[in-house]
Amino acid sequence: MAKRKIIWTKSAKFERKEILIYWINRTKSKTYSKKLNKLFSEAVNLLSEHPKIGRTTNDGETRINIVRDYLIFYEFTEKELIVQSIWDARRDENDTEFDYT
């Protein structure tokens, strides 16, 4: 299968950065954030080749991939994979705009 171009929305970039900064501040080290960032990158790269491995949501177009305690919300076309959001699954699900139940 062909690899799709990966596009991060503005909000997904912001959320990813916030998650990584949180862990830098929490652990007083960049080590865990680097590992987590690598996991996010690997997951999104895999999705760009195999986008249907994620679970579908109620809207039918958005899909979810789980990476540790995080949900990666994305959509795809034949040529692109659009990362819409990264959500900490330990947070209140009512705070997200996506219906993933």
Residue 94 lies in a domain: no
Q: Is residue 101 part of a domain?
A: no
Residue 99 lies in a domain: no
Tally of structural domains, the chain: 1
Q: Per the domain annotation, does 95 fall within a domain?
A: no
pLDDT greater than 70 at residue 101: no
Query: Is the per-residue pLDDT at 95 higher than 80?
Result: no
Scan for tokens 């690997």, then name that residue: 42
pLDDT mean over 45-59: 95
For residue 64, the model assigns a pLDDT of 97
Range of the domain at 40: 5-88
**Looking at the domain assignment, is residue 73 inside a domain?**
yes
How many C-beta atoms surround the C-beta of residue 58 within 10 A?
A: 9
Calpha distance 53→25 (Å, rounded): 33
Mean pLDDT, all residues of the chain: 91
**What CATH code is carried by the domain that includes residue 59?**
3.30.2310.20
Helix axes 31-49 and 10-27, enclosed angle (nearest 10): 150
